[in-house]
A and B are shown apart, each in its own frame.
Chain A
């Protein structure tokens, strides 16, 4: 018989109830948290009914941009056009207009391409920093759509 067994026999511990840990509380909270997330993200998520133009999908943004350019072409109100374009939060207003003008030209929408290019040119002329318009070049860059050159611009009356 070993020494440890002797010790157990000599000093038998009185049976005490096991002290249960509070882990079950944490488990409950985690379970509840997961259920809460499931409810708020999948079952009943926040519904946005009042979004802004910058959150729109790209094709919607293109339509919005086209309309701004068309309005500018008929009204010549550059200040208003610039403020409207800023709502789209493009990294570069001029570049976005130029790139879209290229796409429009490639699709055969010459009038729209003209309007977009007209607004891009007006913004470029109005901005302090010289910015490159991708459509103004005859040689294609990696980012600009390599197609034709735009029809000549006519000044807004």
Chain B
């Protein structure tokens, strides 16, 4: 094999080895750190706890609009979907029945509120 060709092959392998090392370093050893994240990136268990807080407040305030505003804080999704996701997580992780009931009440209220909003919009 010509000397020049061999050098080009070795050079290419060196680049590939460096690339692999760089990717391991950039993804595993020292990945990009996000320090100022938004609330919508919270892990599902934290989101569920937040929904539970909203449900606890809703139980006392019975303020649909305020509950919706609070739910918008953790997710751009429709409030009902956010609550349903939280309920699904809570059921899977054995939350207490009282906490589950609070979230179910909130879900029911959000469902009603959404339905009312849609029917008002159509009329």
Give chain A's interface residues, CB within 8 Å of chain B: 20, 24-41, 45-46, 48-53, 55-58, 60, 63-64, 67-68, 70-71, 74-75, 84, 87
With a 10 A CB-CB cut-off, give which of B7, B14, B36, B57 has the most chain A CB atoms: B14
CA of A104 to CA of B8 in the docked complex: distance in angstroms? 67
Q: Which 9 A-B pairs have the closest CB atoms?
A: A36-B22, A32-B18, A40-B26, A28-B14, A29-B18, A32-B19, A50-B43, A32-B15, A33-B18
What are the residues of chain B within 8 A of A39 when measuring CB–CB?
19, 22-23, 26
Which residues 21-36 of B sit at the A interface, judged by CB distance below 8 A?
21-27, 31-32, 34-36
Tell me the smallest distance from the CB of A84 to a CB of chain B, in Å. Answer: 7
- With contacts A28-B11, A55-B35, A56-B38 taken as known, whether A40 is within 8 angstroms of B23 at the C-beta atoms is yes
CA distance A84 to B14 in the complex (A): 50
Q: A24 to nearest B CB, angstroms?
A: 6
Cβ contacts B50-66/A at 8 Å (1 or 0 each): 10011011011100000
Nearest-Cβ distance from residue A116 to partner chain B, whole angstroms? 15
List residues of chain A with CB within 8 A of the CB of B38.
56-57, 60
Q: Interface on chain A toward B: helix, strand, loop, or mixed SS? A: helix
Residue B101, interface by CB 8 Å: no
B56 surroundings in chain A (CB, below 8 A): 71, 74-75
Whether B35 pairs with A33 at a CB distance below 8 angstroms is: no
Q: Which residue from B16, B22, B34, B70 sits with its C-beta under 8 Å from A48?
A: B34
On chain A, the residues within 8 Å of B61 by CB distance are: 74
Determine how close the nearest CB of chain B comes to the CB of A43; give it in whole angstroms: 10
User: Whose C-beta in chain B lies nearest to the C-beta of A43?
Assistant: B26
For residue B24, which residues in chain A have a CB less than 8 angstroms away from its CB?
36
Closest to B20 in A: A36
Task: Decide yes or no: A30 and B18 within 8 Å by CB, A39-B26, A53-B42, A56-B36 being known contacts.
Answer: yes
